[in-house]
């Protein structure tokens, strides 16, 4: 089984690229059914982690949409700090619009809560949450996550845009932290 080493940690393949792509295609089908031609939502991709997911998702959408980016961070190493650091702000006008917030992963939900509040205060008519990965055991917030490509256990992962201290984003597969309890 293929393993990678990033900094001081080793990771093993958890979700192969073809499974990621299949899940994204299924998610896009659902979104294509839910969004109509009269609505042009703004897809707001949360950088850095969601860049690959956003790119692959948009390739499968058959309705008009706009795209913008916001960069925030709440991680240090493998732990969420629980504190949102705004790095690059919102540049698109969202007043009265549907905003689809595109995340790479939703775990504690701290980022989602802060961004949801920020977007509604900025005048968004509706904020829809879309994520590649959801950790249901970690997510205990009240804001619904309407579009989820995959649900995963509460393990630390990298690859396909996700990082460990800025390394590992470039891998096409998703890797999980390799610990004695999860080795196969």
pLDDT mean over 47-71? 95
- Given a contact cutoff of 8 angstroms between Cβ atoms, the answer to whether 168 and 160 are in contact is no
- Given a contact cutoff of 8 angstroms between Cβ atoms, the answer to whether 116 and 127 are in contact is yes
**Is position 163 annotated as part of the catalytic site?**
no
Residue range 18-150, CATH number = 3.40.50.2020
How does pLDDT run across 165-181, given as a tens digit for each residue? 999 999 999 999 997 65
Report how far apart, in Å, the C-alpha atoms of 25 and of each of 54, 148, 153 are: 12, 12, 22
How does pLDDT run across 28-37, given as a tens digit for each residue? 999 999 998 7
Q: Which of 107, 163, 173, 178 is catalytic?
A: 107
Nearest to 105, CA basis, from 40, 176, 38, 36: 176
How does pLDDT run across 91-117, given as a tens digit for each residue? 888 999 999 999 999 999 988 998 999
Instruction: Compare 53 and 122 and report the one with higher pLDDT.
Output: 53
Residue ranges of domains in the chain: 18-150
């Amino acid at each position: 089984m293929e393993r990678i080493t990033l900094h001081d940690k080793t990771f093993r393949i958890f979700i192969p690229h073809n499974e990621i792509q299949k899940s994204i295609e299924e998610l896009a089908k659902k979104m294509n059914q839910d969004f109509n031609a009269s609505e042009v939502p703004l897809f707001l991709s949360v950088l850095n982690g969601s860049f690959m997911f956003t790119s692959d998702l948009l390739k499968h959408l058959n309705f008009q949409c706009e795209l913008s980016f916001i960069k925030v961070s709440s991680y240090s190493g493998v732990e969420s700090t629980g504190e949102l650091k705004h790095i690059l702000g919102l540049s698109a006008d969202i007043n009265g619009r549907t905003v689809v917030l595109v995340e790479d992963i939703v775990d504690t939900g701290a980022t989602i809560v802060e961004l949801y509040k920020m977007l509604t205060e900025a005048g968004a008519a509706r904020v829809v949450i879309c994520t590649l990965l959801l950790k249901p055991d970690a997510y205990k917030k009240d804001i619904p996550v309407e579009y989820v490509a995959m649900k995963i256990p509460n393990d630390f992962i990298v690859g396909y845009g996700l990082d460990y201290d800025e390394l590992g984003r470039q891998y096409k597969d998703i890797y999980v932290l390799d610990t004695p309890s999860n080795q196969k």
